[in-house]
Structure 1
Amino acid sequence: MRRAGATVPSEFAGKIDESVLKKTIDYETEKTRFSFISSIFSNIITIIFIFGGLLNIYNSWIASLNLSFIVSGWLFFLLLAYGSEFLSIPFSLYHTFKIENKYGFNAMTSRLWVSDFIKTLLISTVMLSLVTFAGFWLIQWSPHYWWFWVWGFLFIFSIFILYISPYIIEPLFNKFTPIEDESLKERILKLTNKAGIHASRILRIDASKRSKHTNAYFTGIGKTKRIVLYDTLLASMSQTEILSVLAHEIGHWKKKHMLKMIIAFEVFSFIALYLSFKIIQSDFLVTLFHVSSNTLYAKFIILAFLTDILSLLFTPCVSYFMRRHERLADRASYELTKDPESMASALIKLSKENLTNLYPHPLYVTLYYSHPPILERIRYLKGFSH
């Protein structure tokens, strides 16, 4: 990456210099190294827990409490979730106050970090409690078909969370206010009406109190949407650039990308839960992993571990379809605005402000990138101008 990224590309000439390019490379290198170390740590902890006898000890301790099946399952997973959350604290602090601070992105105070952590922990506790109590009740109620009922519950629950999140959860962390620029609001409404979307509200989010990163997104189900613009985005981009970014998001909606991803995920979940049911019926996991106390909870942990490993095989495929969706959304942005230069300009600003890697390794892109490389996107958009 250092060798390939030594030259400022022509698309960025006059926008960044060698010092910014070096900063981009350093930021990407540090992020990648940090991600690798944190992933290794997480995997080591998981392997020690499962293969080092800790799962057996923990499983036996939960069983010794003589609680009901549902309460035992809830406590089993709640304490594991708390353990995982607290083990991640040093990594979260280092990422926020060391890496993000070093490159000028962090705006979060230690007080705000603690506040966010407590809120997240409370919300996670409520959600995990709802899922585990409902899930284990369904398992107890229908021992032979629980996989189907649990799948149905999780589907309804995820849609419910998707619906209420903008109104209940997100306001706990950020302040949302209507945008003040009436001219921009009018142009956004004209754009959404052209696309067949009813924008119920166009809001500004105070994202700058946490980070200097920029973004914009839609929330809502069906044709009624809330449009949310980061205050950092409003401060750094022109109206035409903002409209191009929103047109890209509209492109995702028009192409039904979110719906397709939800359907694909639900099909995968349906199959995974059925296979989990069949595997759990046998003693395969207990024998293979030497679990001394044969409980459903321990089997779920082992299944989750195996699923994480198997999911790596599907990562390139998922990444490919996500990149394809982004390419289609870029094209939709052009078709809606007929202004590829503004979208290209917005991408240049976004990449500069977020220190996006301009020269990612092709293999890494193939395996993990959810978006096409930024230079590829800019050149694709500028092709519409000719």
Structure 2
Amino acid sequence: MRRKLLLSFIVGYVIFIAFIYFYLFYFDTGAIPAEFKGSSVDPETFLTAEELVKSEEYSKIRNFLFFLEVPLEWLFYLLLLFFGIGKLFEKWAEQTTRMKFVHNALFTFCLSFLSFVFFYPLKFLRYSLSKKYGISTQSFHDWMRDLLINFWLDWLLLFIVVSALYWLIRKSEKRWWLYTWFLAIPFAVFLMFIQPVIIDPLFNDFYEIKNKELEERILMLADTAGIPSEHVYEVNMSEKTNALNAYVTGIGTNSRIVLYDTTLERLSEDEIVFIMAHEMAHYVEKHIYFGMAGYLVLLLGLMFIIAKLANKIVNKYGRLLNVSSMKKLSSFPLILLIVSVLTFATSPISNAVSRHIEMRADIYALQLTNDQEAAVSTFQKLSQVSLSQVNPPILVKWFRYGHPTMLERIQRAEQFRD
């Protein structure tokens, strides 16, 4: 039975990948509609012939890898369940010590390490691809360093989540999902608070911006927007990427205005000010808090569905999946599988909400700066440097884009001028 189900999944996976390949490379190539030819939206007006080719190639390959990885993650969890690997990890942890928190630490470490090894080839392929197309400037040594730091952070987070989750499941089999959701609220806020001052500096160096005239201009803009900030921070991303970015991060006293040094090097002051106005909009319009509230509402629904589905699956197919009870750590790969499927299924909704929020931020930036020319040139340069498609295929937009497409953003800026 296990072999038959696994074979069926693999066959379905191959068919899905064949469909995605045909869709991305032959059916919907993301071409610009005829009415936009020669306009500021047309990439032929702001990209060289070489950049056009690289943009199309890189975007298609990167999108293909995304759709390749999602079902691969499901396959990974199915393999853990069908071959009883989670059960073996749990048994080994129990034989090692009687302390529950050590059980959790050992189990989550084994699971994290196996996941790291399983997905490493795909991560390395992405890294190699970004190097080939000039997006990444990071050496392999530094890339591995960041990957390992991320591994330990992910393991620590997973250990905390599993410890709390299974303590609650053992205390209340019926309402653990609700209690888990309650705990998630302060935990999520805590992570947002510490990220700018503890987590982010593990990967990059942050320092006050060197261009004090530009800092003064940005701080004046922040003051106009009602954002309390004494400094603008610069981060040395040029050691890792050619990508351009800026953001306002953190909450409360730990909020920060941050600019990539690549952004400072490649954009004009007017373009930088427009980007910062966009990021400030998220603070002014409370997008961080609305986003957090929306995330928690979605999480509540997902937790309820996960609890109901997991219990039914364990009761009906527990033996097939090598899971005897939800109280056992061996049920965790099943929870991860359900989470992954539901997250993918709901991503078009969450991405649509995110695109609306980003659209609001673009409008706010246009109103605050009243500089449509800087907006258009900024979007063009962002597309140029990231080698992203101006008009991506609709499935890519639904499942990958948390921002409006560049076609939509440039067009909106042009229309704002009118």
**Contact (CA 8 Å) 2:348, 2:398: kept in 1 or not?**
yes
1:199 aligns with 2:226: no
Q: Structure 2: how far apart are the matches of 1:3 and 1:185?
A: 38
Cα deviation for residue 235 of structure 1 reads 0.3
Deviations 1:198-227 (A, max 9, x none): 123201100011111110011121487311
Q: Which runs of 5+ in 1 are unaligned?
A: none
SS of equivalent to 1:356: coil
3-state SS, counterpart of residue 229 of structure 2:
strand
Change in Cα spacing, 1:243 to 1:285, as seen in structure 2 (3 Å) is same
Task: Quote the Cα distance in structure 2 between the aligned partners of 1:279 and 1:43.
Answer: 16
Structure 2 residue 62 is the aligned partner of structure 1 residue 31 = yes
Contact 1:73 1:136 in 2 (8 A): no
Residues 165, 82 of structure 1: CA spacing in aligned structure 2 closer, same or farther, 3 A cutoff? same
Query: In structure 2, how many angstroms separate the alpha carbons of the residues matched to 1:192 and 1:81?
Result: 41
How many aligned residue pairs are there? 384
Residue 152 of structure 1: CA displacement? 2.7
* Equivalent residue, structure 1, for 2:288: 258
Q: Which residue number in structure 2 is paired with residue 71 of structure 1?
A: 102
Equivalence for 1:241? 271
Q: Distance in 1 between matches of 2:108 and 2:119?
A: 17
1:352 maps to what in 2? 384
Contact 2:277-2:369 within 8 A present in 1 as well: yes
Q: Is the 8 A contact 2:355 2:404 kept in 1?
A: yes
Counterpart secondary structure, 1:217: strand
In the other structure, the counterpart of 1:317 is 349
**Structure 2 length as normaliser, TM-score?**
0.83
Q: Is the 8 A contact 1:199 1:224 kept in 2?
A: no
Structure 2 CA distance for partners of 1:172 and 1:64, relative to 1, 3 Å: closer
Question: How far apart, in 2, do the equivalents of 1:136 and 1:306 lie?
Answer: 16
Contact 1:204 1:228 in 2 (8 A): yes
Relative to structure 1, the CA distance from residue 310 to residue 283 in structure 2 (aligned partners, 3 Å threshold; closer, same or farther) is closer
- Structure with bigger RCO (C-alpha 8 Å, 6+ apart): 2
Q: Offset of 1:344 from its aligned partner?
A: 1.4
**Partner residue of 1:19 out of 36, 43, 50:** 50
Distance between the aligned counterparts of 2:403 and 2:348, measured in 1?
Answer: 12
Task: Check conservation: 1:218, 1:226, Cα contact below 8 A.
Answer: yes
| CA 1:3–1:114: 2 relative to 1, 3 Å | closer
Q: How far off is 1:184 after superposition?
A: 0.7
- Deviation at residue 56 of structure 1 after TM alignment: 4.6
Change (3 A) 1:200 1:145: farther
Q: Secondary structure at the match of 1:228?
A: strand
* TM-score, normalization by structure 1: 0.89
Q: Distance in 2 between matches of 1:233 and 1:15?
A: 18
Find the counterpart in structure 1 of residue 242 from structure 2: 212
- Name the CA distance, whole Å, in 1 between partners of 2:45 and 2:308: 61
**Contact 1:59/1:293, CA 8 A, preserved across alignment:** no
| 1:131 to partner: Cα distance | 3.2
Give the Cα separation in 2 of the matches to 1:59 and 1:223. Answer: 42
Letter in 1 for 2:64: R
Query: What is the identity, as a one-letter code, of the residue corresponding to 1:233?
Result: T
Aligned partner of 2:12 in structure 1 is none
1:137: how far off?
4.0
Change (3 A) 1:51 1:81: same
Partner of 1:340: 372
Indicate conservation of the 8 Å contact 1:217/1:228, yes or no: yes
Matches for 1:107-186 after TM superposition, within 5 Å: 107-140=137-170, 145-186=175-216
CA distance in structure 1 between the partners assigned to 2:101 and 2:195 by the alignment: 27
2:19 alignment partner in structure 1: none
- 2:408 pairs with one of 336, 354, 376: 376
Deviation at 1:240, TM superposition (A): 0.8
- DSSP-derived class of the 1:154 partner: helix
- Name 2:331's counterpart in structure 1: 299
Deviates more, 1:139-148 or 1:353-362: 139-148
Q: Percent identity?
A: 27
Q: Which residue of structure 1 lines up, in the alignment, with residue 219 of structure 2?
A: 189
SS state at 1:4 partner: coil
Residue 195 of structure 1 aligns to which amino acid in structure 2? A
Q: Which residue of structure 2 lines up, in the alignment, with residue 80 of structure 1?
A: 111
The letter for the 2-side match of 1:75 is L
Q: Which moved more, 1:162-171 or 1:74-83?
A: 74-83
- Residues 229 and 303 (structure 1), Cα distance of their counterparts in 2 relative to 1, 3 Å cut: same
Q: Quick one: distance in 1 between partners of 2:305 and 2:57?
A: 44
C-alpha contact (below 8 Å) 2:366/2:372 kept by paired residues: yes
1:115-160 CA-partner distances (Å, limit 9, x unpaired):
2223222333333333333444444556665444432332212211
Counterpart of 2:6 in structure 1 is: none
- Secondary structure at the counterpart of residue 371 of structure 1: coil
Distance 2:66 2:308 in 1: 35
Contact 1:219 1:226 (8 Å CA) reproduced: yes
Q: Label 1:333 to 1:100 Cα distance change in 2 as closer, same or farther (>3 A).
A: same
Change (3 A) 1:108 1:178: same
Partner Cα separation in structure 2 for residue 41 and residue 275 of structure 1: 22
Helix, strand or coil at the partner of 1:214: coil
- Are 1:198 and 1:224, in contact at CA under 8 Å, matched by a contact in 2? no
Deviation at residue 337 of structure 1 after TM alignment: 1.1
2:236–2:260 contact (8 Å) kept in structure 1: yes
